Protein backbone atom coordinates (compact mmCIF):
# COMPACT_ATOMS: atom_id res chain seq x y z
CA UNK A 1 0.00 0.00 0.00
CA UNK A 2 1.37 3.40 -1.01
CA UNK A 3 1.03 6.43 1.24
CA UNK A 4 2.33 9.91 0.45
CA UNK A 5 3.86 11.73 3.42
CA UNK A 6 3.01 15.31 2.46
CA UNK A 7 5.75 17.22 4.23
CA UNK A 8 9.11 18.64 3.23
CA UNK A 9 10.19 18.85 6.88
CA UNK A 10 12.96 16.28 7.35
CA UNK A 11 12.46 16.10 11.10
CA UNK A 12 8.79 15.22 10.68
CA UNK A 13 9.68 12.67 8.01
CA UNK A 14 12.09 10.89 10.34
CA UNK A 15 9.56 10.68 13.15
CA UNK A 16 6.69 9.54 10.91
CA UNK A 17 8.78 6.95 9.06
CA UNK A 18 10.16 5.60 12.33
CA UNK A 19 6.67 5.07 13.69
CA UNK A 20 5.30 3.41 10.54
CA UNK A 21 8.32 1.14 10.15
CA UNK A 22 7.31 -2.51 9.96
CA UNK A 23 3.91 -1.90 8.40
CA UNK A 24 3.27 -3.06 4.85
CA UNK A 25 3.45 0.44 3.43
CA UNK A 26 5.47 2.10 0.68
CA UNK A 27 6.13 5.64 1.85
CA UNK A 28 6.49 8.35 -0.79
CA UNK A 29 7.44 12.01 -0.42
CA UNK A 30 6.64 15.27 -2.25
CA UNK A 31 9.90 15.27 -4.22
CA UNK A 32 8.63 12.18 -6.05
CA UNK A 33 5.87 14.33 -7.58
CA UNK A 34 7.42 17.30 -9.40
CA UNK A 35 5.03 20.05 -10.30
CA UNK A 36 2.94 19.90 -7.15
CA UNK A 37 2.76 23.06 -5.06
CA UNK A 38 1.61 23.01 -1.46
CA UNK A 39 -1.62 25.00 -1.06
CA UNK A 40 -1.85 28.01 1.27
CA UNK A 41 -2.67 26.98 4.83
CA UNK A 42 -5.84 29.05 5.16
CA UNK A 43 -7.39 27.03 7.99
CA UNK A 44 -7.93 28.42 11.46
CA UNK A 45 -6.96 25.20 13.27
CA UNK A 46 -4.30 22.52 13.05
CA UNK A 47 -6.91 20.00 11.86
CA UNK A 48 -8.11 22.27 9.06
CA UNK A 49 -4.59 22.93 7.80
CA UNK A 50 -3.61 19.25 7.96
CA UNK A 51 -6.69 18.35 5.92
CA UNK A 52 -6.02 21.10 3.37
CA UNK A 53 -2.57 19.64 2.67
CA UNK A 54 -3.68 16.01 2.67
CA UNK A 55 -6.67 16.63 0.40
CA UNK A 56 -4.60 18.58 -2.12
CA UNK A 57 -1.87 15.96 -2.39
CA UNK A 58 -4.36 13.08 -2.51
CA UNK A 59 -6.19 14.79 -5.37
CA UNK A 60 -2.92 15.40 -7.24
CA UNK A 61 -1.49 11.88 -6.81
CA UNK A 62 -4.60 9.72 -6.49
CA UNK A 63 -2.90 8.08 -3.51
CA UNK A 64 -3.61 7.89 0.19
CA UNK A 65 -1.93 10.93 1.74
CA UNK A 66 -0.78 11.74 5.25
CA UNK A 67 -0.26 15.35 6.34
CA UNK A 68 0.71 16.82 9.67
CA UNK A 69 0.09 20.24 11.13
CA UNK A 70 1.76 20.99 14.42
CA UNK A 71 2.65 23.92 16.58
CA UNK A 72 3.56 25.39 19.91
CA UNK A 73 0.99 27.07 22.14
CA UNK A 74 2.38 29.32 24.90
CA UNK A 75 -0.11 30.34 27.59
CA UNK A 76 1.56 33.68 28.41
CA UNK A 77 1.29 34.63 24.72
CA UNK A 78 -2.39 33.73 24.49
CA UNK A 79 -1.72 30.49 22.63
CA UNK A 80 0.77 31.96 20.14
CA UNK A 81 2.56 31.08 17.97
CA UNK A 82 -0.05 28.31 17.42
CA UNK A 83 -0.82 27.53 13.79
CA UNK A 84 1.81 30.09 12.74
CA UNK A 85 4.64 28.31 14.59
CA UNK A 86 6.73 27.55 11.49
CA UNK A 87 6.72 31.19 10.36
CA UNK A 88 6.53 32.95 13.70
CA UNK A 89 9.66 35.03 13.15
CA UNK A 90 8.44 36.52 9.84
CA UNK A 91 4.86 37.33 10.84
CA UNK A 92 4.52 41.07 11.01
CA UNK A 93 7.97 41.61 9.53
CA UNK A 94 6.86 42.34 5.98
CA UNK A 95 8.49 39.14 4.71
CA UNK A 96 5.12 37.38 4.65
CA UNK A 97 2.12 39.22 3.24
CA UNK A 98 -0.27 37.46 5.61
CA UNK A 99 -0.37 34.66 8.15
CA UNK A 100 -1.58 32.14 5.58
CA UNK A 101 1.25 32.55 3.11
CA UNK A 102 3.64 29.61 3.12
CA UNK A 103 6.82 31.46 4.09
CA UNK A 104 8.61 29.60 6.86
CA UNK A 105 11.34 31.00 9.08
CA UNK A 106 14.41 29.20 10.39
CA UNK A 107 14.17 27.33 13.68
CA UNK A 108 16.75 29.66 15.22
CA UNK A 109 14.85 32.78 14.19
CA UNK A 110 11.58 31.41 15.57
CA UNK A 111 13.21 30.52 18.88
CA UNK A 112 14.92 33.92 19.07
CA UNK A 113 11.58 35.70 18.72
CA UNK A 114 9.93 33.42 21.28
CA UNK A 115 12.66 33.94 23.88
CA UNK A 116 12.61 37.69 23.29
CA UNK A 117 8.86 37.85 23.88
CA UNK A 118 9.21 35.80 27.08
CA UNK A 119 12.21 37.73 28.37
CA UNK A 120 11.78 38.29 32.10
CA UNK A 121 8.73 36.03 32.39
CA UNK A 122 9.15 33.68 35.41
CA UNK A 123 9.21 29.87 34.91
CA UNK A 124 5.75 29.30 36.38
CA UNK A 125 4.23 31.55 33.70
CA UNK A 126 6.08 29.95 30.77
CA UNK A 127 3.73 26.95 30.47
CA UNK A 128 3.17 25.67 26.96
CA UNK A 129 2.17 22.68 24.90
CA UNK A 130 3.02 21.12 21.59
CA UNK A 131 -0.04 20.11 19.57
CA UNK A 132 -0.21 17.88 16.47
CA UNK A 133 -3.01 16.84 14.18
CA UNK A 134 -2.31 14.20 11.55
CA UNK A 135 -4.79 13.93 8.68
CA UNK A 136 -5.09 10.89 6.42
CA UNK A 137 -7.06 11.23 3.19
CA UNK A 138 -7.79 8.14 1.09
CA UNK A 139 -9.17 8.97 -2.37
CA UNK A 140 -12.24 7.14 -3.58
CA UNK A 141 -12.43 5.10 -6.76
CA UNK A 142 -12.05 7.11 -10.00
CA UNK A 143 -15.22 9.02 -10.79
CA UNK A 144 -16.56 8.90 -7.26
CA UNK A 145 -16.53 11.30 -4.33
CA UNK A 146 -16.12 8.60 -1.70
CA UNK A 147 -12.87 9.79 -0.16
CA UNK A 148 -12.20 8.64 3.39
CA UNK A 149 -10.76 11.10 5.90
CA UNK A 150 -9.39 10.50 9.38
CA UNK A 151 -7.62 12.77 11.84
CA UNK A 152 -5.48 11.86 14.85
CA UNK A 153 -4.25 14.30 17.48
CA UNK A 154 -1.74 14.51 20.28
CA UNK A 155 -0.64 17.01 22.94
CA UNK A 156 2.55 17.31 25.00
CA UNK A 157 2.60 19.70 27.96
CA UNK A 158 5.71 21.48 29.20
CA UNK A 159 7.21 24.94 29.56
CA UNK A 160 9.59 27.21 27.71
CA UNK A 161 13.12 27.49 29.09
CA UNK A 162 15.20 30.66 29.14
CA UNK A 163 17.97 29.22 26.97
CA UNK A 164 18.58 26.43 24.47
CA UNK A 165 19.79 22.94 25.35
CA UNK A 166 20.36 19.69 23.48
CA UNK A 167 21.47 18.94 19.96
CA UNK A 168 18.62 16.77 18.67
CA UNK A 169 15.10 17.36 17.47
CA UNK A 170 13.95 20.33 15.44
CA UNK A 171 11.68 23.34 15.67
CA UNK A 172 11.22 24.57 19.24
CA UNK A 173 12.61 21.36 20.81
CA UNK A 174 15.74 23.07 22.29
CA UNK A 175 13.61 25.32 24.53
CA UNK A 176 10.70 23.00 25.37
CA UNK A 177 11.16 21.48 28.83
CA UNK A 178 9.24 18.28 29.63
CA UNK A 179 8.74 17.89 33.40
CA UNK A 180 8.17 14.12 33.19
CA UNK A 181 11.61 13.57 31.67
CA UNK A 182 13.50 16.45 33.29
CA UNK A 183 14.91 17.30 29.85
CA UNK A 184 14.14 19.53 26.91
CA UNK A 185 12.79 17.76 23.83
CA UNK A 186 16.09 18.26 21.97
CA UNK A 187 17.88 16.13 24.60
CA UNK A 188 15.73 13.06 23.91
CA UNK A 189 16.53 10.33 21.40
CA UNK A 190 14.07 9.81 18.55
CA UNK A 191 12.75 6.72 20.33
CA UNK A 192 12.34 8.48 23.67
CA UNK A 193 10.65 11.44 22.04
CA UNK A 194 8.31 9.20 20.07
CA UNK A 195 7.03 7.57 23.23
CA UNK A 196 5.82 10.80 24.82
CA UNK A 197 5.62 13.47 22.13
CA UNK A 198 2.55 15.10 20.64
CA UNK A 199 3.38 13.66 17.24
CA UNK A 200 4.07 10.26 18.78
CA UNK A 201 0.61 10.25 20.37
CA UNK A 202 -1.05 11.14 17.08
CA UNK A 203 1.01 8.52 15.24
CA UNK A 204 0.04 5.86 17.76
CA UNK A 205 -3.60 6.60 16.99
CA UNK A 206 -2.91 6.42 13.26
CA UNK A 207 -0.98 3.16 13.55
CA UNK A 208 -3.72 1.56 15.65
CA UNK A 209 -6.31 2.60 13.08
CA UNK A 210 -4.24 1.25 10.19
CA UNK A 211 -3.60 -2.07 11.91
CA UNK A 212 -7.24 -2.34 12.94
CA UNK A 213 -8.44 -2.46 9.37
CA UNK A 214 -8.39 1.15 8.22
CA UNK A 215 -6.06 0.32 5.32
CA UNK A 216 -4.10 -2.78 6.11
CA UNK A 217 -6.61 -5.11 7.70
CA UNK A 218 -6.23 -6.67 11.17
CA UNK A 219 -2.64 -7.10 12.36
Contacts of 137 (CB under 8 A, 6+ apart): 51, 54, 55, 57, 58, 64, 65, 67, 147, 148, 149
**Chain center to CA of 72:** 10
Q: Strand order in 176-178's β-sheet?
A: 26-28, 2-5, 64-74, 127-138, 148-160, 176-178, 183-184
Q: Which of 31, 68, 69, 75 is catalytic?
A: 69
Indicate if 69 belongs to the active site: yes
Catalytic residues: 69
Amino acid sequence: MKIVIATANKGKRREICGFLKGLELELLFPDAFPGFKMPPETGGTFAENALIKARAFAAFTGLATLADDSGLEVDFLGGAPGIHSARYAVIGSGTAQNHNQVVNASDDDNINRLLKELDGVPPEKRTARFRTVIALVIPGAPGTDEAKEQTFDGVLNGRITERRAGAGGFGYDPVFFIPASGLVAAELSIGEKGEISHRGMALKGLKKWLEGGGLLGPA
